[in-house]
A = this chain, B = another copy of it.
Amino acid sequence: MTVPRYTPLAQSLPATVPFVGPETQERQRGAPFIARIGANESVFGPSPRAIEAMQRAAGEIWMYGDPENYELRHALAAYHGVAPENIVVGEGIDGLLGYLVRLLVGHGDAVVTSDGAYPTFNYHVAGFGGDLHKIPYRDDHEDPEALFAKAAEVNAKLVYLANPDNPMGTWHSGADIVAAMEALPEGCVLVLDEAYVECAPEGTAAPVAADDPRVIRMRTFSKVYGMAGARVGYAIGAPGLISAFNKVRNHFGMNRAAQAGALAALEDSDWLAQVQDQIAEARDRIARIARSNGLEPLPSATNFVAIDCGHDGVFAKAVLDSLVEQGVFVRMPFAAPQNRCIRVSCGGEAEIVAFEAALPKALASTRAV
């Protein structure tokens, strides 16, 4: 008998991880990045009020955070015009996706996503033994109709759709998503990941009734709110599903300073508006840089731009490798045909300048091979 005796599922899981962190790459290359624009973090940072709240809370970090996330949940409910019972707060969308999958997906249960969409969702589905069905992107967009049709075909318990999409940055109108939801099969929950919706055009957020049992929406303070390192995400859904999280979540899992920071960030709408402007400007600059190098930027409703490098995944990977080598941390889509692109997060002046300098060299060295 070996020790430990893992569950058959745990034994079957690969040791792969969803993402290699930039710190790991920095250790490998032996130097820090000069531009950290690969993980769709917000270089514009959080509201100064959020920073101040977190710094103040550091002095009271000897106390556990409120396991009910009461104040933050109530503030979010007021912000969205829903009830506190419609909101669960968790350790980033990643943490919430894990809990959601755990609640719904067991061995062999069918789940549907797009081929090349968020790997951490796939990681959780595999981690609970689900059977994942992948639908191709259509014209670089996730394809709600095809996703929901596949969900009906395989009797899926859960279907994942990011709007706006990561890694392509494309989007659908929220109204179109809601219309497409009519085709969701009975007994299927749509997890609608709206991580980037705060920098998307008006009308992108799905106008879903908070108590609609067919859908749970994911939001985060990691992207436009600039607090990725704090680990604060939340989900909006029907009270039954929301309260089910209490059966499995890490009740004392939230960092107390992060709770305070998120609350302060939510209240600073001026800062949010300013970051939205900075993101829009940075997207335009990244797009211009792409075009001036003969590449095609995809339209984006996110805080990053996917840039079509005009060839296949091997070519794009070579461009990416050269950028990384030059100290510019960027990432790229995992699946074809999206992997003809590189994905560049919005940066400030320093990051944009570094990218602008590095891209021509990356293209030249790649084309020279």
Inter-chain CA distance A39–B65, complex, in Å, is 11
Contact (Cβ within 8 A) A62 B229: yes
Contact (Cβ within 8 A) A230 B61: yes
Q: Which of B27, B70, B222 makes the CB contact (< 8 A) with A23?
A: B70
Inter-chain CA distance A23–B60, complex, in Å, is 14
Inter-chain CA distance A187–B3, complex, in Å, is 5
Q: Which residue of B lies closest to A260 (CB)?
A: B229
Inter-chain CA distance A5–B187, complex, in Å, is 6
Known contacts A4-B241, A6-B104, A61-B261; A229 and B247 CB within 8 A of each other: no
Q: Which residue of B lies closest to A60 (CB)?
A: B229
The SS class assigned to the A binding surface is loop
Inter-chain CA distance A227–B257, complex, in Å, is 11
Contact (Cβ within 8 A) A251 B17: yes
Q: Which of B19, B103, B213, B251 makes the CB contact (< 8 A) with A3?
A: B213
**Count of chain A residues with Cβ under 8 Å from any Cβ of B?**
88
Inter-chain CA distance A27–B255, complex, in Å, is 20
Contact (Cβ within 8 A) A257 B58: yes
Asked whether A18 is an interface residue with its Cβ less than 8 Å from the other chain, the reply is yes
Inter-chain CA distance A4–B60, complex, in Å, is 39
Most chain B beta carbons < 10 A, residue from A17, A64, A92: A64
Asked whether A258 is an interface residue with its Cβ less than 8 Å from the other chain, the reply is yes
Q: Which of B41, B54, B248, B257 makes the CB contact (< 8 A) with A13?
A: B248
Beyond contacts A3-B187, A7-B106, A54-B58: 17 other A-B pairs, Cβ-Cβ < 8 A, are: A1-B186, A4-B103, A4-B240, A5-B157, A8-B106, A10-B248, A14-B247, A15-B246, A18-B251, A21-B64, A23-B68, A23-B70, A43-B62, A58-B257, A231-B253, A255-B257, A255-B258
A/B interface sample: 8 pairs, CB < 8 A: A3-B188, A4-B241, A7-B103, A15-B247, A36-B63, A61-B261, A65-B229, A229-B257
Chain A positions within 8 Å of B, measured between CB atoms, are: 1-10, 13-15, 17-19, 21, 23-24, 27, 36, 39, 41-46, 51, 54-55, 57-68, 70, 91-92, 94-95, 98, 102-106, 109, 120, 127, 157, 186-189, 213-214, 222, 226-231, 240-241, 243-244, 246-248, 250-258, 261
